[in-house]
Structure 1
Amino acid sequence: MTTSVRPSRRTLLRAAAAGVTALAAGCSGGTRSVQVVVVWSTSELDRFRQVVAGYPAPVQVVSAGNDIDAFLRARHLAGTSPDVAILPRPGLVTEYAQRGWLSPVRPSAEYAVPDELSKLLTTEGQRYGVWVKAAHKSLVWHLPSMLPNPPTSWDELVERTRELGALARRNDGPAPLALGAADGWVLTDWFENVLADVAPEGYTTLARPDADWQGKPVRDALDRLAGLWSVDGAFLGGGRRALLTQYEESVIQVVHARRAVMLVGADFTADVVGPFQRGPEAPATFRFPGAQPGGGPLIVGGDAAVAFADARGGVELVEWLTKADSFRPWLRAGGYLSPNTNVSINSYTDSVGQRLAEEMRAPGTLRFDLSDQLPGAFTGSDGVGIWRIMQGFFADVTDGVRAGEAIRRATGQLAAAARSASGGR
């Protein structure tokens, strides 16, 4: 049994307003619109609205922002659930299906995703969600003029960080790394990339209810992170400043201010790069380094579409979203990575998008974002769960706490959070 999040008064009011809007749209005569609640905002929201403009029936898109779970719970309590939702975590799909909130869905014949993704949206033999957007989370961004020879292994990354950190301490150059640690998911992305490299099997088992968060795989991953994060001068402004830095600001520190050399960030970092890039030089990317040259396993995230029970038109819209051409407007605009392997590589308008799509299809290396698979509050959000625990660990190792003590403290907290999220088992 998972831990639920009680909707705030503000969330209840927003959900109620959206529900009234939905009822008004349904009673206004003519073809009934299909309502979709999404996590996206700003440019992503605009792009998705361009996508559903091609659907044969009217589609109303409502953004719930990062609190979509609380938003949808409030809508359910009010009896105004939307027809469709785009959910950022497979754990929510499973939970909603078990509560009886969702209808089974069927993808179109044009839909194909890697097995590692497909099984995450299946409950008791029924499919309750389809992947509509993927995120490549194993990238390091940099400006080629500032890093002409990127590191190809973890040891090279550590050595380069030490070299650049020493120069930065003498005011002879930018800091090695920018880090938006105020957003806890940035730190879990680091952790997941390292964990999948040092203990691939351990990575898989940690998504289970009986996972051992104090075991060797977690300790080894945290030890590797501590070795890099504790390098003197590694982060712009130091660890405490990094904990106050939002993700978007960390991107600006690399591509505009040029006060840091490298940034670990998913493919959607490009949406931030665009408005802030200074001059003609575009940032480049390389794979997050693993123990061996060439990069480690590929960590991906994703957004899944679900249809709510008894929602007229919801299942049909979900099926339409899985057609190979449905997201073509977003593909043309850029900033979109399809989980559908039947989407042609040539559909991507830039070489970076084509390369990322090809990497998504490489067999045997793909792992889904671990924190997005965890139950209840353990999955993480601002100030709670694995996000908060990783922020505490980062604060310890950048503030001089010995690695062994920092690891002992973090693994104890992770184990306690896992037990709480699983009902105390």
Structure 2
Amino acid sequence: MKTLFLAGVAAFALLAGAAGAADLEFKPGEDSRFNWASYEEYKNSHQDLKGQTLTIFGPWRGDDETLALAMLSYFQEATGINVKYSSSENYEQQIVIDTQAGSPPDIAVLPQPGLLQDLASKGFLVDLGQKHADWMKENYAAGDSWVKLGTYKDKDGAEKFFAFPYKADLKSLVWYSPDNFEDAGYEVPKTMEELKALTEKIAADGAKPWCIGLGSGGATGWPATDWVEDMMLRTQSPDVYDKWVTNAIPFDDPAVVAAIEEFGWFARNDKFVDGGAQAVASTDFRDSPKGLFTSPPKCYMHRQASFIPSF
């Protein structure tokens, strides 16, 4: 079985463990609400895979893991492949350990393009080939962009297509409770200037505007990178952003420092953050939004991606 790496575009905390695919939720051909033609076609053309084992290293935990295994159960039923799923809370370290030890999974779902580039440069990824890149360009909206996201330099410096997007989440979201805003008389800001003014207003009223948590095991700190990326795109041109993520400009470049300082305006002020600035690094990102739902609320706003309700 060849090794294949999938690039996710959202960050996840992973749970250690192993499991095979779940039981089928709907038996193929038995529910008239579904069209099983594509399933039957796929099944008939992949019978030569029966008896093989496919290992998958993924980000899903809890209910998301249950859903992922339910999806994989149809692949297992159609092909006869034995699917083995595993994950790790410290996925960044674990995938590096596994690849260096010569025991990588067949498929890994990872949310960091930078990590994928590092693995590719060390020769740990398998080239998916031009055929798959062309298919993505033809079948994905903005296919060229997705192909570029999954293209990295190998150990010889040659650019190759190693990863394709499986799941995308929307970032740059600020979560809030409409009821809390209404009770306090706050209006939803529409600009950065209004957001900062609201932050100062809530603090002046004696409440905490924000819940911010960067804790994530071995990946602690990644929520801050999302904040900084937002600030970079607000304060600099896309060209400067591209130079930053490709290391064409250093991390101490004035443009990068300015973006970090913008994030610091929110995160380093004890009056702005639930628990104070010292709690930002130690608060787990999965627990951070809970302050929105206490009575009275411990905070009024939380910046996080669309996947946060999963936790």
TM-score, normalised on structure 1?
Answer: 0.51
User: What SS does the corresponding residue of 1:247 show, helix, strand or coil?
Assistant: coil
**1:205 deviation in Å?**
0.6
Counterpart CA distance in 2 for 1:61 and 1:36 is 6
Q: Deviations over 1:124-163 (max 9, x none)?
A: 3531111101122200000001224211111111111111
**1:79 deviation in Å?**
4.1
Partner of 2:95: 72
Partner of 1:175: 208
Match for 2:172 among 113, 134, 138? 138
Counterpart CA distance in 2 for 1:164 and 1:247 is 22
Partner of 2:204: 166
Letter paired with 1:103 = V
Partner of 1:39: 59
* Aligned residue-pair number: 244
1:126 and 2:160 aligned: yes
CA contact (8 A) 2:221 2:281 kept: no
Distance 1:229 1:71, change over 3 A: closer
Counterpart CA distance in 2 for 1:61 and 1:228 is 43
**1:265 deviation in Å?**
0.7
Alignment of 1:100-115 (within 5 A): 100-105=123-128, 106=132, 108=135, 111-114=139-142, 115=144
Alignment of 1:285-324 (within 5 A): none
Letter paired with 1:139 = L
CA contact (8 A) 1:41 1:63 kept: no
Counterpart CA distance in 1 for 2:229 and 2:98 is 33
Distance 1:266 1:243, change over 3 A: same
Counterpart CA distance in 2 for 1:232 and 1:78 is 44
CA contact (8 A) 1:40 1:63 kept: no
Q: Which runs of 5+ in 2 are unaligned?
A: 1-15, 21-48, 153-157
Q: Deviations over 1:197-250 (max 9, x none)?
A: 111322111122342323231232233334344556211121123333211221
Letter paired with 2:162 = Y
Letter paired with 1:127 = F
Counterpart CA distance in 1 for 2:115 and 2:281 is 28
Which of 1 and 2 has higher RCO (CA within 8 Å, sep 6+)? Answer: 1
Counterpart CA distance in 1 for 2:147 and 2:280 is 36
Letter paired with 1:255 = F
Alignment of 1:325-364 (within 5 A): none
TM-score, normalised on structure 2?
Answer: 0.68
**1:59 deviation in Å?**
4.5
Distance 1:232 1:69, change over 3 A: closer
Distance 1:93 1:113, change over 3 A: farther
Identity %: 22
Q: Which runs of 5+ in 1 are unaligned?
A: 1-14, 22-28, 169-173, 273-425
Q: CA RMSD in A?
A: 2.9
Partner of 1:211: 249
Letter paired with 2:177 = L
Letter paired with 1:122 = T
